[in-house]
Each structure stands twice: as C-alpha cells, then as structure tokens.
Amino acid sequence: MIHRKTGLYTSLALLVMMLAGAARAELGGSIATVQADQARMKAAVRPGTSGPGYSVHVMQTPSGITVREYADTSGNVFAVTWQGPFMPDLKQLLGPYFSNYVGAARKRHGGLHHLTVADKNLVVHSQGHMRAFSGIAYLPAKLPTGVKPADLQ
Amino acid sequence: MRLRLRHFRLALCLLLASSLAACGGGSSTVKNSTTTTAASIINGSNVASLSVDSGPSTLPSSQYTVNEVFTDVTICDSEAADNCKTIDHILVDTGSTGLRIIASAIPAGLNLPQMQDASNKNIAECGMFADGYTWGPVKKATIKLADQTALSVPIQVIAEPGFNSVPTACANTGNPENDVSSFGANGVLGIGYFLQDCGTYCVKNIPAPAIYYACTSTGCNGTILATADQLNNPVSLFGPGYNNGVMLSLPGLPSNGELDVLGSLVLGVNSQSNNQLDSTQIYQVNASTGNLTTVYRGQSLTGSFIDSGSNGLYFNDSTIPGCTTATGFYCPTSTLNLSATIKDINGTQANISFNIANAETLFQSGNTAFSDLGGGGFTNTFDWGLPFFYGRKVFVVFEGQNVGGSTGPFIAF
C-alpha cells in the first residue's frame, strides 16, 4: 500500500516536472523536451541503441505504439519513427513540421497505405495498414554527418 | 485537362482505326476487353466487377487516380432492403476493414440509422489510415455486393453534416481525408484479414489517439465499443460459403500500363467452382499485424504486407533515383528488373520478379493502371501494393476461417 502511494507521488512529481519542463518535444526541438512527449503519451521509456553522432530515446505508449526520437550530440531531435497498431499523435511528434506535412499530403493521392512527403526541409514516410502502422519523419539538413535515413529504425 | 486528353486519345485511336489495345485499353465509356483482361474476368453470381480507372467523376481532373481499384457497392437503409442506392468508385482495400463512404457521394433518399451507445450517445469514428484520417458517424446499412446481402452492418459515413467538429486527437493523427478529392474515392470497402477495424482491443480499451467516440451536442469523447458495433468486414457477414475470404483477379499489363482495366472480386474461397484454391500456395501472415517478411537485397523486412489499397510497390532502395516532380515515386533512367522473396511466418517462400519504371514517364502516358510503379518507403517494410495484383489471382482468407487445411489470416497466390 505504502509502496503504491509512494509510486503515485513519484509519478505525480515526475509528471509535474515534465509538464513544467517544456511545452513540446518534437522534431526540430531539444531532447530535453522528449520528457514532454513521454508525459503526453503516457509512455514508458525503453532502452535504445545509440549510434555514432546520435542518441535514441525509445518510448512505448500504453496502446502499443513504439516511438523513437533521434537526437544529435547537441541534443536536437532530427528524426522520429513510430510503429504500432494505431496511428500516433503526429502533431506531437512532428511539432512545427506537422503543418508542412499535412499541407504537402493534400497535394497528391496515392492509395490509403502509403504517403511520402519530401522536400529539402522535411521527409516523411507514413505507411502500413489497419493494425500495423509505421513511419519516419526526419530533417534531411539536420542529419548528423555519416548518418543515413536507412540507419534509423 | 485530363478529360480532354482522354477524349483526344480516344478520338485519335478511332481516327487511326488502331486497335484499342494499341491505345492502351478502353476508356471509361468504351470498355474494351484485351486478351489479358478477358482472362482476369471471372463469371458467377458471387462476383463483383473491379475497375482501375481515373477515379470518381467528382474528382478534379488534376487529381485523377492511378492504380486504385474500385467496385460499386449498394447500401440500403433497412433490413427490408427496399430502399437502396448504388455508389460507384468504392476503393477495394485488403489493407483495412469496414465500409466507409463520403457523405456527399451517397445519393439523397437514404436514411441510415445512427449507431448509439447504451446512453444514447451517437457513435462516431476516427478512421486511421497511413496517409490520413476519416471522421464521421457510425451508421447502420444493409450492404449488397454481387448476389450477397449483409443486414444492418456498421459503416462509417465520412464528413456527415452535424459531425463537423473533428476531435483534436483525431486531427493530430495526420491529413484530413474527408472529401472525395482528398480520399481519392467515393469510399472504401475494407475487406482485409481482420473482422473488425480495431477488434477486441477497443472492447475494453480506448487507444490514444482514440478510434471510436461517443458524441453529444457538446462534443465527442473516446469510447470503448463492442466488436459487433465496430466497423466489420462486410464480406465476413455474408452467407455461408461467401464469408470466409475473397479473391481478386486483375489482368497482367504491358510495360507502359493501360488506360483502364477490368477485373473481378470473387466472394468466398474454396466454396464455389470459381473460387477454388487448387494448388495456389498459401502464405500465413502474422495474426496480430497481417504482416509477413520480404527479403530484398539481403535485408529481411519483417514489416512487409500485400494490399490492394496501396497504389505502388513501396520499399526503401537508396540506389534508385527518386522523381523530381512525382515526389515519393522512383524515376530510374531505364526500367529496372528486380526481385524479392516473400517469406511467410512459417518460412514458406515465393520469389517475386518485378519491374520499376520511371514514374514520371508512366504518368505522362495518361494511363491509370501500372504494374511497374514504385516508390521509397521506411526501412523494414516492403509494401506490395496494387502492382503485385496485376496478372495474379490473389486470395485473402479472414482471421479464424479454416480454408484448404489452413486457418486464416492468410494470403494465397
């Protein structure tokens, strides 16, 4: 009982810290704001494998969506990926780039299970079918030297 | 612009007295059966007609569709089926579940009953697709396809007046596809492996972002929903022998595509003389995800899937140049002959040869059906879209159905 209560207080304290931390965690934002994503998505943090020039922050939402946020050595998020049975909150993940994504998506229709948006500032592949969605959004100009999009899972 | 081009092409063909095949097939007004098309047409009362063409008449010509396969669906507002309307250009999609129709495409005169929960709140849905979402109420319709009828099936009416306010959580999943031009069809007939779009998860849980919502005059909140009230696979509700799966048959295509093509959607698997598996190889897919594995260039892509609702072959290959104007598609300088291996969850394999042509060249032809259209994708996935279906008979057997000694979900080709 006491243990559960302590856990609750800790969670509340963490939540408050997260909410106070930063408004958004998102593509183009600071890795410090990843905590805001965790809080908003009520996500559990999983260990991630970092690579040369970047770190990975892995979260899993209660609905089973796995989100990976990739940050460069300065702590700037240059890519996010998602995978799960439902679509994620892309506005949260893409942050200021969400409007670019939606605006570009309207231009051409290519079936329901695949969408690519690509310009010099933003590349998004969203794909999959009901029960299995996945995708990636990255900032091509912000990829750390030597990091290829194919390296990002 | 497109219509004028199509008319010009047709006029030119007639003027030159060329064969229609040389003109890339028939037009929407003059249907033509080439040799390959004839072989893909299957006769029987359990068969609905398929067509790949430029899309609904209300679609702006600049947004004509390519590689989208359509059928007509009839819906009625009562189980008596005495008041019915037929809607054309419904996308046939083995990658989703449930019938969804854009409200503006439903002819006047139907009064479909609104689905409500126990406290009389109206049920609405955020239909999730990789390229965007659909928003609108869940209503009940009696669905007729070929000679089969399913009574009072939950369907989604997209962009229904009175449901104008999209919940923020739904809008945050992506691009709104609540009209014919952004959806690319008058609706979608989801006849994939799964019996419901969400299934047992949504009976006890509200995913975040939510799929089903309970609405009052003040707004909508995420809700749980029994499987019977969720969007169900309409074919799974047809009569015995017609409800265990489907088979899609589309003709093979020349390298520059066809203006439009015809095919068949057969209801049921292994139940009639026209839907026998015979020696067709079965590939079991993951029962939770509907995915299987594709091995391409030595990489094992475990998130791969075969579906009729994608208009291309989408996979990641950084050695193939992307297009400049047709963003997202591949534009090799000459057509590439490639191959990949599809591997099911038991290790059963199929080696598949396929071509990737220059998408911009294909689009300049004015044709709408291409077997060699492809584009980039996210690592770990090979999306075998409609190009895979041309020149094949593809069987999709639903989850839990026992057919040919195997239990669905599986695909056979």
- pLDDT tens-digit profile of A99-132? 999 988 765 557 899 999 998 999 999 999 999 9
Query: What pLDDT does residue A26 have?
Result: 83
pLDDT for res A31: 78
Average pLDDT over residues A83-91: 97
Phi, then psi, of B265 in degrees rounded to 5 = -115, 110
Residue with tokens 């854009």: B102
Question: What average pLDDT score do residues A22-39 get?
Answer: 70
Helix (H, G, I), strand (E, B) or coil at A101: helix
Chain B closest-CA separation from residue A139 CA (Å): 14
Query: Mutation test of the interface with chain B: which of A83, A112, A134, choosing the one with the most B Cβ atoms within 10 A?
Result: A112
Q: Does the beta-carbon distance from A41 to B199 stay under 8 Å? A: no
**What local confidence, expressed as pLDDT, does residue B311 receive?**
96
CA distance to B86, B242, B343, B347, per residue, from B146 (Å): 12, 11, 33, 36
Asked whether B285 and B409 are in contact (CB, 8 A), the reply is yes
pLDDT of residue A107: 59
Supply the DSSP symbol for A121: S
Terminal-residue alpha carbon distance, chain B:
38
Are B100 and B188 in contact by the 8 Å Cβ rule? The answer is yes
A147 SS3 class: coil
Q: What is the pLDDT of residue B27?
A: 35
A96 touches B at CB < 8 Å: no
Q: Hey, are the CB atoms on B303 and A134 less than 8 Å from each other? A: yes
Nearest to A113 among B66, B130, B211 (CB): B130
Cβ pair B333, B359 in contact under 8 A = no
Flag the least confident range among A3-7, A81-85, B129-133: A3-7
A149 interfaces chain B, CB cutoff of 8 Å:
yes
User: What pLDDT does residue A111 have?
Assistant: 83
Residue B261 CA to residue B201 CA, distance in Å, equals 39
* A38 touches B: beta carbon within 8 Å: no
Return the number of other C-beta atoms located less than 10 Å from residue A75's C-beta. 13
Q: For an interface test with A, give the residue of B52, B96, B129 to mutate (most A CBs within 10 A).
A: B129
Query: First-to-last CA distance in chain A?
Result: 40
User: Of the candidates B66, B173, B381, which has its C-beta nearest A89's C-beta?
Assistant: B173
Regions of chain B with pLDDT less than 50:
1-35
List the beta bridge partners of residue A30. A76
Sheet with A54-60, strands from edge to edge, namely: A44-46, A54-60, A66-72, A77-84, A132-138, A123-129, A114-118
Does residue A136 belong to the interface with chain B, where contact is any CB pair within 8 Å?
yes
Mutate to test the interface with A, among B52, B131, B286 (most CBs of A within 10 A): B131
Which pLDDT does position A25 carry in this prediction?
55
pTM of the full structure? 0.89
Task: Tell me which of A92, A109, A126, A134 to substitute to probe the interface with B (most B C-beta atoms closer than 10 Å).
Answer: A109
User: What percent of chain A is modeled with pLDDT above 70?
Assistant: 78
Closest by Cβ to A41, choosing from B176, B208, B211: B208
Nearest by CB to A114, from B128, B184, B310: name it: B310
Chain A residues 41-70 with a CB less than 8 Å from chain B: 41-42, 61-63
Residues of chain B contacting residue A153, judged by C-beta atoms under 8 Å apart = 379-380
- Three-state secondary structure along chain B? CHHHHHHHHHHHHHHCCCCCHHHCCCCCCCCCCCHHHHHHCCCCCCEEEEEECCCCCCCCHHHCCCCCEEEEEEEECCCCCCCEEEEEEEEEECCCEEEEEEHHHCCCCCCCCECECCCCCEEEEEEEECCEEEEEEEEEEEEEECCEEEEEEEEEEECCCCCCCCCHHHHCCCCECCCHHHHCCCEEEEECCCCECCCCHHHHCCCCCCCEEEEECCEEEECCCCHHHCCECHHHHCCCCCCCEEEEEECCCCCCCECCEEEEEEECCCCCCCCCCCCCCEEECCCCCCCEEEEECCEEEEEEEECCCECCEEECCCCCCECCCCCCEECCCCCEEEEEEEECCCCCEEEEEEEECCHHHHHHCCCCECCCCEECCCCCCEEECHHHHECEEEEEECCCCEECCEECCEEEC
Report chain A residues whose CB lies below 8 A from the CB of B171: 91
| Residue A49 pLDDT class (50, 70, 90 cuts) | confident
B354 compared with A14, residue with greater pLDDT:
B354
Kindly state whether A82 is in contact with chain B, defined as any CB-CB distance less than 8 angstroms.
Answer: no
User: Which among B175, B289, B375 has the least Cβ separation from residue A106?
Assistant: B175
CB contacts, 8 Å: B173 with chain A: 87-90
A111, A130, A134: residue with CB nearest B128: A130
The CA angle B4-B334-B374, to the nearest 5 degrees, is: 65
Could you give the 3-state DSSP secondary structure of residue A11?
helix
CA-closest candidate to residue B67, choices B384, B410, B319: B384
Kindly compute the dihedral angle of the four CA atoms of residues B146, B389, A86, B119, in this order, to the nearest 10 degrees. Answer: 0
pLDDT at A52 (0 to 100): 83
**Please, which residues bridge with residue B278 across strands?**
none
